[in-house]
Amino acid sequence: MTSIGIHDLTVSTAHHVIDLAELAEAGGVDPAKFRVGLGQDRMSVPAADEDIVTMGAAAALPLLERHGTEGIRTVLFATESGVDQSKSAGLFVHELLGLPRTMRVVEFKQACYAATAALQSALGIVARNPGERVLVIASDVARYELDSPGEPTQGAGAVAMLVTADPALLAIEPVSGVAARDVDDFWRPNDSTTAVVDGRLSLTAYLGALTTAWDDFAARGGVEVAEIDRFCFHQPFTKMARKALKGLAQHTGADLKDSLQEETFPYNRELGNTYTASLYSGLASLLDHDDTLAGKRIGLFSYGSGAVGEFFTGIVQPGYQSLRRRDAVEAELDGRVPLTLAEYRELHSAEHPSDTDWETPRVTQGPFRFTGIRRQARQYEVRQA
């Protein structure tokens, strides 16, 4: 049987950055509460002329430059930071990237789980026609109220994945365990630009979805926990993944040490919460930082508040190191422009009306810009070389 999975994987983020130590000190909080208690160091913040579309397009561009567009007939865009109630953010990306007209483009939404729903759909498309390739993009901006408990778990970033037959990075195995439950642990009402979260309930819902999904995975013939060499969990903050591994260990009776997931943390400690992109930026970090993964099995758990979870596995392919992008990711992280706390608060509070025309200031130097609103429609441009 032909294997199907992730052929290549890229990460991108926003223009600005906030050091959480500064945010802690300004609020009279011990910085260790964020650095150790949450497991976070910094968080990316979008400039006025960027959003999920510009980040998503920037993440996808290197994939197309490396592999071309032949065979790509589908773009699946996952986000919980949608820019339109009807039109897929993927269509903006499709135009910015100059992709062929003969494509299906759609947006997926179910909190942070949406990227896994898109990935599973992509696997099905390729299984039906192994000659096709699917571009999956996950892009989000995590926003909470200023001075709220959720503020230090904000962030921004995007991941793009090329899903193919005979993948060069990760072959996804067929067994999957799933969980769903209607629970109000986290949501964003239509009339709000920031999310509402019950932190204690969200922790409980996350761990409950993990154990339910694991039990379903095991019941459907999934491998034993001892056969999994590394774990990669959804990371709203990296300490949550540590809690998840501990919870899975208690549930299964296995001895699961943090070393089994430690290399999934470096990127997310810098990006902050990237919602749909979080699990897969953790995967990118693992592949970029661990030299010994060829032939190893990775267990992945995706969670989306509200709540949906899925546990599945994949086998890392020989030669995966040749596709690494660690230098590029670290250069982008190092190149972010720091904001003062006053600048950050002003940017966070800025209103973006859709009923009047307006233009964004030119801030970023990336390949794509959000330029503003004209006749109630969002406008984007490709930066000219």
Catalytic hit among 7, 112, 232, 263: 112
Report pLDDT digits (tens) over 94-109: 999 999 999 999 999 9
Task: State the chain's mean pLDDT as an integer.
Answer: 96
Q: What class does CATH assign to 171-318?
A: alpha beta
Report pLDDT digits (tens) over 176-185: 999 999 999 8
**1 falls in which pLDDT band (50, 70, 90)?**
low
What pLDDT, on a 0 to 100 scale, did the predictor assign at position 194? Answer: 86
In one-letter notation, the amino acid at residue 145 is E
| The CATH number of domain 4-169+324-382, selected from 3.60.10.10, 3.40.50.720, 3.30.540.10, 3.40.47.10 | 3.40.47.10
Q: What is the mean pLDDT of residues 199-215?
A: 94
For residue 299, give the DSSP letter: E
Quote the CA–CA distance of 41 and 269 in Å, as a whole number.
Answer: 5
Domain with CATH 3.40.47.10 in the chain: 4-169+324-382, 171-318
Q: What is the mean pLDDT of residues 374-381?
A: 95
Active site residue 227: no
The share of the chain scoring above pLDDT 70, in percent, equals: 99
Active site residue 112: yes
Distances 297 to 170, 227, 234, 314 between C-alpha atoms, Å: 9, 7, 17, 6
Catalytic hit among 50, 80, 107, 151: 80
**175 falls in which pLDDT band (50, 70, 90)?**
very high
What pLDDT, on a 0 to 100 scale, did the predictor assign at position 384? Answer: 77
pTM: 0.96
Whether 383 has a pLDDT exceeding 90, the answer reads no
Whether 77 has a pLDDT exceeding 90, the answer reads yes
Smallest CA-to-CA distance from 13 within 44, 49, 40 is with: 44
**385 falls in which pLDDT band (50, 70, 90)?**
low
What pLDDT, on a 0 to 100 scale, did the predictor assign at position 302? Answer: 98
Active site residue 80: yes
